[in-house]
C-alpha cells in the first residue's frame, strides 16, 4: 500500500498563509494586488474565499504599484505580490515616487529572489533587487530564512505599516536548532549558531542563504578547526543598530548573497562597520556574491557554480583566515 506524503512547506507559503490570517484578524481594511502571481504566491484558495481582497492586474508591475498607491490613499492597507526580478526593475520609479516618498502603507512581496527561480530562466533571477530597493529612501528591506522565521516576519508585516520590500523564495529553507513551530517575535538579526568566545570567522547571510552559512560555520568549526559562527541579517535597510556589535570581534566576516556585487548585504555590513563608534580592529570583509551572470538551471547547481554552497563557503573562509596569518598576503576586502 502506497503512503501519501505531505509536501514540505516553502518559505513563501509559510509567509503568505500567516500574513493573510493576520490581516484578516487585524483591524485594518486591506487588499492584495498581484502581478499575474496569485497562484505563484499560493493565494488561490484565499482569493476564492475572499474575492474582494485580491486584485490581479496581470503582467503590469508599474500598474500594480500605481493601483496600490491609490488604494492606500483610499484608506486601505495594501500588499503587492510579484516576481522580484520584474517588480524591482519594471516598477522601481513608481515605488520611489508614489510609495516611498509618500510613506504609503504598502508591503511588497518580492517572490523568487536571488537564483531561486533558476529553472524558469535567467531572466527570472532577482540579483539586483536588494541593492535597488536599499537605494530608495524610506523602504524597509527584509527577508525571512526558514518557515518559522517567515511566520514571525509575516506577523510583523501585518502589524507594522510599510513601505516595505519582503524578499521571498518558493522553496523550503532548512535550519538546524531553530524552532520549527510556535510563535516568536521577528528580529532584524538572529544568531544561527552560538558565537564562540574566540571566534575567527562570522558568516552573514540574508534570507534563504542562511541555510548555507549555518552549515558552513559548522564545517569550519568541526572540520577545519576554525571557531566560526553564522548570523542571519534579516533586514538590509535600515541597517540594524545591533549589527556592528555582532560583527565586532571577528577577524574575518563573510557577506554571503546570491546578488550582484554592488549595494547588497556587503554594503550593509560595511555601513554598520563604518558607523561603529566603539572602534577597534576592523574585520576583513570577504564578499561571496555574484560577479557574472550565472545562467539558468537547478538552484543547487547554480549555487555550486557561483561558489555559494556550504562546503565552498567554508573553504573560502579557511583560505581567508590563512591569508590573514600570512604576512605576504594582501589585505583589504575580497
Which tens digits make up the pLDDT trace of 289-327? 998 888 899 999 999 999 999 999 999 999 999 988 754
User: Which residues sit opposite 82 in a β-bridge?
Assistant: 110
Closest CA to 275 of 245, 249, 253, 250: 245
Same fold across 11-167 and 189-325: yes
Q: What mean pLDDT comes out for the span 71-96?
A: 97
Query: What is the predicted pLDDT for the residue at 1?
Result: 35
pLDDT tens sequence across 154-175? 999 999 999 999 999 999 999 9
In the predicted model, is pLDDT for residue 328 greater than 90? no
Q: Comparing 9-23, 141-155, 216-230, 315-329, which segment has the lowest mean pLDDT?
A: 315-329
C-alpha cell at 263: 549595494
Q: Does domain 189-325 have CATH number 3.40.50.920?
A: yes
Q: What mean pLDDT comes out for the span 74-80?
A: 98
281: CB partners within 8 A, 6+ apart: 251
Give the count of alpha carbons within 13 A of 295, CB side only.
Answer: 8
H helices within 26-146, ranges in order? Answer: 44-49, 61-73, 84-90, 92-94, 129-134
Packing angle, helices 210-223 and 310-325, rounded to 10: 50
Q: What mean pLDDT comes out for the span 51-69?
A: 97
As a whole number of angstroms, the distance between CA 251 and CA 201 comes to 6
Give the count of alpha carbons within 13 A of 283, CB side only.
Answer: 31
CA 89 from centre of chain: 17
Of the two residues 204 and 282, the one the predictor is more confident about is 204
Query: What is the predicted pLDDT for the residue at 183?
Result: 60
CA 245 from centre of chain: 21
Q: Where are the domains of the chain?
A: 11-167, 189-325
Q: Greatest CA separation found in the chain?
A: 66
CA 215 from centre of chain: 18
Query: What is the predicted pLDDT for the residue at 47?
Result: 95
Query: What is the predicted pLDDT for the residue at 269?
Result: 97
Cα–Cα distances in angstroms (integers) from residue 222 to residues 144, 210, 246, in the given order? 27, 18, 22
In the predicted model, is pLDDT for residue 73 greater than 50? yes
Strand 106-111, strand 164-167: pairing: parallel
Sheet containing 228-233: order of strands: 189-191, 228-233, 201-205, 252-260, 284-290
CATH architecture of 11-167: 3-Layer(aba) Sandwich (3.40)
Query: What is the predicted pLDDT for the residue at 330?
Result: 42
Closest CA to 63 of 37, 34, 40, 102: 34
Whether the CB-CB separation of 90 and 65 falls below 8 Å is answered with no
Query: What is the predicted pLDDT for the residue at 141?
Result: 98
Beta strands, E only, the chain: 30-34, 54-56, 77-83, 106-111, 140-142, 164-167, 189-191, 201-205, 228-233, 235-237, 252-260, 284-290
User: Which residues sit opposite 252 in a β-bridge?
Assistant: 201, 284
Label residue 118 by pLDDT band (50, 70, 90): confident
Amino acid at each position: 500500500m502506497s503512503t501519501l506524503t505531505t509536501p514540505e512547506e516553502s518559505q513563501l507559503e509559510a509567509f503568505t498563509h500567516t500574513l493573510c490570517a493576520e490581516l484578516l484578524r487585524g483591524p485594518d481594511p486591506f487588499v492584495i494586488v498581484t502581478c499575474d502571481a496569485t497562484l505563484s504566491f499560493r493565494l488561490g484558495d484565499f482569493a476564492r474565499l475572499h474575492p474582494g481582497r485580491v486584485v490581479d492586474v496581470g503582467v503590469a508591475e508599474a500598474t500594480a504599484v500605481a493601483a496600490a498607491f491609490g488604494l492606500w490613499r483610499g484608506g486601505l492597507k495594501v500588499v503587492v505580490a510579484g516576481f522580484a526580478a520584474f517588480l524591482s526593475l519594471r516598477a522601481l520609479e513608481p515605488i520611489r515616487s508614489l510609495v516611498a516618498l509618500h510613506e504609503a502603507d504598502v508591503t511588497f512581496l518580492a517572490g523568487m529572489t536571488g537564483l531561486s527561480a533558476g529553472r524558469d530562466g535567467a531572466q527570472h533571477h532577482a540579483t539586483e533587487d536588494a541593492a535597488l530597493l536599499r537605494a530608495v529612501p524610506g523602504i524597509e528591506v527584509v527577508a525571512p530564512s526558514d518557515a518559522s522565521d517567515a511566520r514571525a516576519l509575516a506577523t510583523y508585516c501585518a502589524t507594522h505599516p510599510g513601505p516595505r520590500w519582503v524578499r521571498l523564495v518558493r522553496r523550503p529553507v532548512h535550519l538546524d536548532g531553530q524552532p520549527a513551530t510556535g510563535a516568536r517575535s521577528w528580529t532584524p538579526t538572529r544568531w544561527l549558531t552560538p558565537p564562540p568566545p574566540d571566534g575567527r570567522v562570522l558568516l552573514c547571510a540574508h534570507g534563504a542563504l542562511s541555510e548555507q552559512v549555518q552549515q558552513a560555520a559548522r564545517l569550519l568549526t568541526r572540520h577545519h578547526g576554525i571557531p566560526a559562527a553564522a548570523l542571519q541579517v534579516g533586514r538590509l535597510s535600515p541597517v540594524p543598530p545591533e549589527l556592528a556589535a555582532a560583527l565586532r570581534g571577528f577577524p574575518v566576516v563573510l557577506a554571503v548573497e546570491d546578488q550582484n556585487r554592488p549595494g547588497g548585504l556587503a554594503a550593509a555590513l560595511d555601513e554598520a562597520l563604518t558607523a561603529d563608534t566603539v572602534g577597534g580592529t576592523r574585520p576583513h570583509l570577504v564578499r561571496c556574491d555574484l560577479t557574472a551572470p550565472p545562467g539558468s538551471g537547478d538552484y543547487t547547481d547554480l549555487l555550486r557554480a557561483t561558489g555559494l554552497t556550504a562546503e565552498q563557503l567554508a573553504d573560502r573562509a579557511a583560505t581567508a583566515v590563512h591569508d590573514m596569518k600570512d604576512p605576504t598576503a594582501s589585505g583589504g576586502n575580497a
